Amino acid sequence: MGLHRFRPPLSGRMGTLRTLGSIRGAALIEYGCMGHMLYSRVFLNQAGVADGCRLYSTHIDETDISMGDTKRLNRTIAEIVEKDKPEIIFFLPSSVPTVIGTDLNAICKELQPEYPDIPLLPFGAGGFHVHGYEGVEEALLLLAKELPKEREKTTRPSFNIIGSCADMFRFQSDAEEMVRILKGAFGIDPVCVMTSHTSASQVMDMGGAHINIVVRREGEKAAKYLEKRFGTPYVIGRPYGIEGTLSWIANISNILGVEADHDFVNQEANRARNHLRPAMPVLNHMIRSHPAEATISLGGHADIVKGILEYGHKELSLYRGDCWCDSPDMGDEDIPYFLEEEWSKAVKNRKKGIFMGSGEALKWAGKGLELQISNPDVRWRLSPYDPPFVGFHGAIHLAGLWLNALLEQEEEEE
């Protein structure tokens, strides 16, 4: 693990934990060193996860490491089952057990007969060599493989959301906006919002949904598995901007085989346009007169950067600045992956324009935190009701942020 000026990239262990940490009715045991789970709980609290998975750490000492003794883990399981009676127990290794080769899969298989009614589900992304998004992908896929039970499709059409996890900034409000739009456009309700607002029992019911809405690329493997097992089709993508949201709705309509409620969709689109209409002359003037200031630079998850960029550039005609993603596996020619040295240089060199990135980067650059779109964060986010970035409401929210950022730059120059 190298030296970093800022917080290091998310590890696979943390990606897994931020995927599982919001699932109600579950317990998560980390087989690892003292203190790890304390920091994890603090992050989840700061991210607004108020009622999620119960988190525990076994702690390990020199004897456990040198002798390979795992009896401490056995005792922890028994105590948690007696105390909390969880519906499922997740197991997560930290870096030390991963390095010494502790086989959590074998341990869970050996102990499972003692707890026939409580699935014991181990995860493997405990080492620093695994990137955070790989941990998210593994966790979503393993949940989809191991927990859903055979279910009849719900009487009314329904859906799952896959990939709304606590590692994403403003994940809860974005998911709520998508649920709101799907309810209004198709009259359908969620079976499971995996994992920002769900329970172990809801994950078990996922097979009853009629369509899966995959909101990040890490959830596609889980959706493919659910499609193979339950015959559930899926759509992948995040709805940004007015036109982008309309396209997202149309795509879901085609796959679901249900026509959207035109009155609701038109009303929502027109309301968003009406909110933007008075500001458009000002925004267009700023774009024509101050092209350097009307440049948008973005850093974060590749899907979020791409979606927000398309809305700002294609729908509102903002100029493209420096755009990058925070995962080496997601970088491409359009949205490259930037190391810490590269993105900090890009932010420092671009004196003018709008920058949206992590709270940590914005604070370092002296920018307003209202332009945050990714983690690491520097504040507590207690409310799940903050304005979203996606959907019709998100289109209005983003446009307002950009317009005010442009006007503030103009005031600074005067």
**Tokens read off for 6:** 């800022």
298, β-bridge pairs: 323, 356
What is residue 215's three-state secondary structure?
coil
DSSP per-residue letters across 292-359: TTTEEEEEE-HHHHHHHHHIIIIIT-PEEEEEEES-TTT--SSS-B--HHHHHHHHHH--SSEEEEEH
256 and 276 both lie in a single domain: no
What is residue 412's three-state secondary structure?
helix
Q: Which domain holds residue 321?
A: 272-413
Is there a domain that residue 190 lies in? yes
Is there a domain that residue 140 lies in? no
189 and 311 both lie in a single domain: no
Task: Give the span between the Cα atoms of 286 and 289, in whole angstroms.
Answer: 5
Is there a domain that residue 132 lies in? no
Question: Per-residue pLDDT tens for 258-274?
Answer: 999 999 999 999 999 99
pLDDT of the residue at 43:
86
285 and 305 both lie in a single domain: yes
Task: Give the span between the Cα atoms of 207 and 148, in whole angstroms.
Answer: 6
> What pLDDT band is residue 234 in, cutting at 50, 70 and 90?
very high
**Tokens read off for 166:** 């606590």
Is there a domain that residue 135 lies in? no
DSSP per-residue letters across 223-269: HHHHHHHH---EEE----SHHHHHHHHHHHHHHHT----HHHHHHHH
Number of domains in the chain: 3
* Residue 101 DSSP code: T
104 and 166 both lie in a single domain: no
Residue appearing with tokens 């759509």: 235
Q: In what order do the strands lie in the sheet with 354-358?
A: 319-325, 295-300, 354-358, 372-374
110 and 176 both lie in a single domain: no
Is there a domain that residue 150 lies in? no
End residue of a domain, out of 226, 260, 294: 260
Is there a domain that residue 266 lies in? no
Question: Per-residue pLDDT tens for 135-190?
Answer: 999 999 999 999 999 999 999 999 999 999 999 999 999 999 999 999 999 999 99
Is there a domain that residue 330 lies in? yes
278 and 305 both lie in a single domain: yes
Q: What CATH number does the domain containing 241 carry?
A: 3.40.50.1980
Residue 48 has pLDDT above 60, yes or no: yes
